[in-house]
Chains A and B, each alone.
Chain A
Amino acid sequence: MKLSCLQENLAKGLSIVGRAVATRSTLPVLSNILLATDESRLKLSATNLEISVNCWVGANVTEEGAITVPARLLTDFVNSLPPERIDLSLIARTQTLNLRCGRYEANIKGIDAQEFPIILVPEEDKASQFATADLAKMIDRVVFAAATDESRPVLTGVHTELTPQGVTFAAADSYRLSVVSSPIPKAPAERISIIIPARALQELRRISGEAESVTMLVSSARNQVFFRMPEVELISQLVEGTFPDYRQIIPTTYNTRMVATTADLLQALRMAAIFARDAANIVRLQILPNEGGMGRLIVSATSAEHGDNVSELDVTVEGQPIEIAFNVRYLLDALEVIDTAQVALETRDPTSPGVIKPVGGQDFVHIIMPMHIAR
């Protein structure tokens, strides 16, 4: 293997694949990055057997070949080189990669490329296409609700349903549920329902920045999902199992509906969060209707040790007065991803879930279980 490429390009490629490198693994080859020539480009690959990322870097290839080298070592070295041309060559006998850039040189010992797991990419027939900006927005709205605790693996994933009408993502960690749906430029002809690890979607969000659109493919065995962008490819294993039937949980009726200005509500909640920190993050919302559909919202948080905080907001209220408590972190997580000027909170009673929806958008629903408050 013999080729040359630019330092900036190689460094960028390495940062794209870098996160997929396994940190704690039983297979030593997984903490390496695979470098392989692919026609007139250099292909970089990394996998942790859950997420795999391939990235192509423009290069001047004079001799074909492939090698895997330790990711940390290669990345740190390349990042510290000046922005000039790098010459890479493989010494096949010792499986050593020689890098030369200006007056700097390094030899990195590698592992045979044959040891690297092969990840097959399926044919492009059942593809669906997303606009990157929309996809990023949808990912932001659901991934935070996925469970981080691995005791119920299905909840660490994001339920993804593709229909000819569009896509629906849903994530839940048994305290909250986020559902977002949207039409997409190109949808598959048949219904596909899979669970994608939340980590894979977060990674996709990170590396899809420059691409205009993302093509998604689901392998026919339903065990892998592929996201293809120009020069970059992300492949993720799917979580096996049955996702809870979340549609049943979404309440259809309410006794109280409040509409507030998103920015004002966020500000009041952020303030309350400071006091709620020591009190299990409990924040109380008192919704008090007045004449003519107007009303007040009183947001309060009390810390037994440190004091309390009360904020009052003018809101529109429909229905009964109510006092309900939530985990303020969950409320903030949801409100922070809402981009409409106004937001609605619907609920039936202090023990029923609260439903948060952006006003003027039908595509996002967030549900939070209330906290019990002693009276």
Chain B
Amino acid sequence: MWTTIGHEWAIAALERAIAARRVPHALLFTGPAHVGKTHLAREFAAALQCEGAAPPCGECEACRRVQKGTHPDVRLVEPEGDHIKIGQIRNLQYELSLSPVQGAWRVCLLTDFHTATPEAANAFLKTLEEPPAHAVIILTALDAGLLLPTILSRCQVFALRPVPARRIAQALMERWGAPEERAETLARLSAGAVGWAIYAWEHPEVLAERQERLRELEALLTASRGERLQAAERYSKHPALNEIIGLWQTWWRDVLLECAGCEDLITHADHHEALRRIARLWSLPAAEAALRSTENALDQLEHNANARLVLEVMFLSWQPLAA
């Protein structure tokens, strides 16, 4: 049984390939972070090695070893530090030339291949084009555009899209026993990233922190100029500053939607009251300006601007909300 959430079309295609014994020698799964690329890739590896009747059965010795990462014929290569390096590729090439130990295939799974150095990627071309008959190479990457065209043309590409929120909520309820309301919230917040939703369900502090950050944002709106400047100094030293601003950005998006009267599209449904209150006091252009200010701030931070100045500009640009 496939346990991957969503991506039914990709699973169907992979199943057909196994059934027809026409397994592609090189596959590439692309998609946003936490969307399920590595999970699907690992499950496909398990399906190839599975000894059960309906691969991947998830119960046979081979499936369990693949899931645990101890199958001798399934090799996982992850970036070493920030990159996949040429040494890793060279070792892999020799390993791939050897016959499989237990199963019929030697599978190698290279995650985040977009981090491969150009030397590593180029060294891999020959193997990728003509791997030994028993080898299956699976790559994952955030985006096909980040890879060399020569790598791309040698792989069968599966572009995984964000998983629909309903599908994620359903899976959280069925498999993890999450209550409906919590599942809906997580699914909406995940923006289609299944892995994030599961992580947030298993680690409730993620949601608690989000509540805290949103509460701080609301407090800032009623704060005086002086308080805002102090807040800017405090936040500028925060290690996860980009994530916080990213979260605020989704909040302003909701305010904008609320102002425009598109209530059903909002992400932070559990804060509907607060959103409605701000929307009543603000006009559409003001909400848009606030959203843009967070966007600018993120952009400037990426270009190494002084964090405190960026935050000051952003905070002061937000219209004070009459208490």
Q: Which residues of A contact B (CB under 8 A)?
A: 24, 26-27, 29, 49-50, 115, 117-120, 150-151, 153-154, 156, 197, 221-224, 237-241
Contacts and interface: CB of A to CB of B under 8 A. Distances in A.
B4 interface: no
B99 A27 contact: no
Interface in B127-150: 132-134
Nearest to B126: A151
Contacts of A24: 91
Interface of B: 69-70, 72, 75-76, 90-91, 93-95, 97-102, 132-134
A240 B127 CA distance: 13
B101 A153 contact: no
Main secondary structure of the interface of A (DSSP, over half): loop
A49 B133 contact: no
Contact of B98 (A26, A222, A239): A239
Nearest to B123: A151
Q: 10 closest pairs, A vs B, by CB?
A: A153-B97, A223-B99, A237-B98, A117-B72, A150-B94, A240-B132, A238-B99, A237-B99, A49-B72, A239-B97
Given A238-B98, A239-B98, A150 B132 contact: no
Contact of A118 (B94, B102, B132): B102
Contacts of A26: 69, 75-76
Contacts of B132: 240-241
A29 B70 CA distance: 8
A237 B132 CA distance: 14
Given A27-B72, A29-B70, A153-B97, A240 B134 contact: yes
A145 to B, nearest CB: 18
B70 A240 contact: no
Contacts of B91: 24
Given A150-B90, A153-B94, A223-B99, 14 more contacts: A27-B69, A27-B70, A49-B72, A49-B98, A49-B101, A115-B70, A120-B102, A150-B94, A222-B99, A224-B99, A239-B97, A239-B99, A241-B97, A241-B132
B76 A240 contact: no
Contacts of A239: 97-99
Contacts of A222: 99
Contacts of A224: 99, 101
